[in-house]
């Protein structure tokens, strides 16, 4: 536990600049609703500097509509860190770059929350522990799967009882690749949750408990052959299918075209198709997804990604260093690579 967490004192640190690079995440993985998450090789950068007046600079094409004032999520989360640590840094120069599309089911808000938490904590000398940051992130996001994956990397199995979150992280199976099919429309998490029933039949609940346990064991032990069956869900995907035309066909038939299985990524609308790198039929799988969605009148963007094993990469930069004036994504390059099955 850090000194600040324990109520102790330590020398006040205020760094000149901190840049954090945070991975995207996919949540649920089918039956693991609000429980399972996996980090992906797509990134968001959060850049914080103490300033005389708060400014917010947005980089890239995925941040349309993001506030440029103190209502910005990154500013609010950073201030929560300072308050928790007993520090005051009221004005910040904030830079945000994101390669993660907003409201598409790839954890853009979780990445922003985690990035703001770790960057703000680093700016004042890292007084808060990783567990404290995880608890704060979960409370802000209201579920631990996306934030857990972005904070710890790899795959996380997590639970939150409304007061405390716990997470167990493990490495994804070697050779696992992910094709993300990103439709050209947004779907808010709130809307996607509103279509879910408050109660489900006992049989469906048992089905999900069984398949969630099977999926976790399969991923932890590398049993890729089990994924076709383990990825099935009755708790949320059937109710959200109407929100993503073509989804039911893709989830049902993807294994016939070279995938290990397919799920709705988070609340959607992105679809996640898992495959074995170097052993699948990537061209056939891409054509299948594109044609199914085109038949519904929906254009999709396809990207092959790999699981990201690490959580945030953080760098503190002195005003005297040559990199101080560089943009966030130049300070910390996106080292993850795109892969093909």
Residue 7 lies in a domain: no
Identify the weakest region by mean pLDDT among 36-50, 62-76, 297-311, 322-336. Answer: 322-336
Same domain, 299 and 321: no
Residues 71 and 155 in one domain: yes
Pair 162, 242 in one domain:
no
Mean pLDDT of the chain, nearest integer: 92
Q: What is the DSSP letter of 307?
A: B
- Note whether 205 and 325 are same-domain residues: no
Asked if the model's pLDDT at residue 10 lies above 60, the reply is no
pLDDT score of 336 more than 60: no
Residue 65: per-residue pLDDT: 86
Q: What is the pLDDT of residue 150?
A: 98
Does 55 score more than 60 pLDDT?
yes
Q: Which of 176-185, 223-232, 278-287 has the lowest mean pLDDT?
A: 278-287
The answer to whether residue 5 sits within a structural domain is no
For 86-103, the pLDDT digits (tens) are 999 999 999 999 999 988
pTM for the full predicted model: 0.91
Whether residues 22 and 140 fall in one domain: yes
Q: Which alpha helices (DSSP H) does the chain contain, by range?
A: 73-85, 108-123, 130-141, 145-152, 189-194, 202-221, 227-230, 237-240, 247-253, 282-295, 328-331
Q: Which pLDDT belongs to residue 62?
A: 80
Range of the domain at 248: 176-305
Question: Count of domains in the chain?
Answer: 2
Question: Which residues, 6 or more positions from 178, have their beta carbon under 8 angstroms from its beta carbon?
Answer: 26, 40, 272, 273, 274, 275, 304, 305, 306, 307
The dihedral built from the CA positions of residue 58, 61, 63 and 65, taken in this order, carries a sign that is: positive
Cβ contact 267:37 at 8 Å: no
Phi-psi region of 175 (alpha: psi -120 to 50; beta: other; left: phi over 0): left
Same domain, 198 and 146: no
Cα–Cα dist 217/222, whole Å: 8
Binding-site residues for ATP: 101-111
133 and 213 part of one domain: no
Q: List C-alpha distances in Å: 267 to 56, 104, 195, 276.
A: 28, 8, 11, 24
The total of other beta-carbon atoms located within 10 Å of residue 289's CB is 24
122 and 247 housed in the same domain: no
Give the pairing type, strands 92-98 and 55-59: parallel
Residues 319 and 279 occupy one common structural domain: no
CA distance 257 to 250: 10
pLDDT exceeds 90 at position 317 = yes
pLDDT tens string 206-224: 999 999 999 999 999 999 9
Give the model confidence (pLDDT) of 126-183 as tens digits: 999 999 999 999 999 999 999 999 999 999 999 999 999 999 999 999 999 999 999 9
- The CATH number of residue 27's host domain is 3.30.230.10
Residue 90 lies in a domain: yes
pLDDT-above-90 percentage for the chain: 86
- State how far the Cα of 23 lies from the Cα of 261, in Å rounded to an integer: 22
In a domain, 341, yes or no: no
221 found inside a domain = yes
Q: What is the CATH number of the domain that holds 188?
A: 3.30.70.890
- For the chain, the 3-state helix, strand and coil shares in percent, each to the nearest 5, are 35, 25, 40
Among 7-11, 305-309, 328-332, the range of highest mean pLDDT: 305-309
The reply to whether 28 and 151 lie within a common domain is: yes
**Which residues participate in the annotated binding site?**
101-111
The answer to whether the CB of 288 falls within 8 A of the CB of 181 is no
Residues 325 and 290 grouped into a single domain = no
């Amino acid at each position: 536990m850090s000194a600040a967490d324990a109520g102790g004192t330590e020398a006040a640190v205020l760094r000149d600049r901190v840049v954090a690079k945070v991975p995207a995440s996919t949540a649920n993985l089918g039956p693991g609703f609000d429980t399972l998450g996996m980090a992906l090789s797509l990134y968001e950068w959060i850049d914080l500097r103490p300033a005389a007046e708060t400014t917010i600079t947005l980089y890239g094409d995925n941040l349309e509509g993001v506030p440029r004032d103190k209502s910005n999520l990154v500013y609010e989360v950073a201030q929560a860190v300072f308050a928790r640590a007993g520090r005051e840094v009221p004005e910040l120069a904030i830079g945000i770059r994101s390669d993660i599309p907003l409201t598409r089911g790839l954890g853009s808000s979780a990445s922003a929350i985690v990035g703001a938490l770790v960057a703000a904590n680093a700016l004042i000398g890292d007084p808060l522990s990783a567990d404290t940051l995880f608890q704060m992130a979960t409370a802000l996001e209201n579920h631990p799967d996306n934030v857990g994956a972005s904070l710890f990397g790899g795959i996380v199995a997590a639970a939150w009882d409304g007061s405390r979150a716990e997470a167990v992280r493990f490495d994804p199976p070697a050779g696992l690749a992910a094709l993300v099919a990103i439709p050209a429309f947004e779907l808010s998490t709130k809307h996607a949750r509103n279509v879910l029933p408050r109660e489900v039949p006992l049989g469906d609940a048992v089905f999900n408990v069984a398949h969630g346990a099977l999926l976790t064991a399969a991923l932890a032990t590398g049993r890729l052959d089990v994924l076709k069956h383990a990825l099935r869900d009755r708790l949320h995907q059937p109710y959200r299918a109407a929100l993503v035309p073509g989804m039911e066909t893709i989830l049902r038939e993807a294994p016939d075209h070279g995938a290990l299985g397919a799920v709705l990524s988070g609340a959607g609308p992105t679809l996640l198709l898992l495959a074995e790198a170097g052993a699948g039929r990537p061209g056939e799988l891409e054509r299948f997804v594109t044609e199914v969605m085109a038949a519904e009148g929906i254009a999709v963007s396809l990207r092959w990604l790999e699981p990201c094993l690490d959580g945030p990469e953080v760098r503190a930069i002195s005003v005297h260093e040559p990199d101080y004036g560089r943009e966030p994504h130049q300070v910390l390059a996106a080292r993850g690579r795109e892969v093909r099955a």
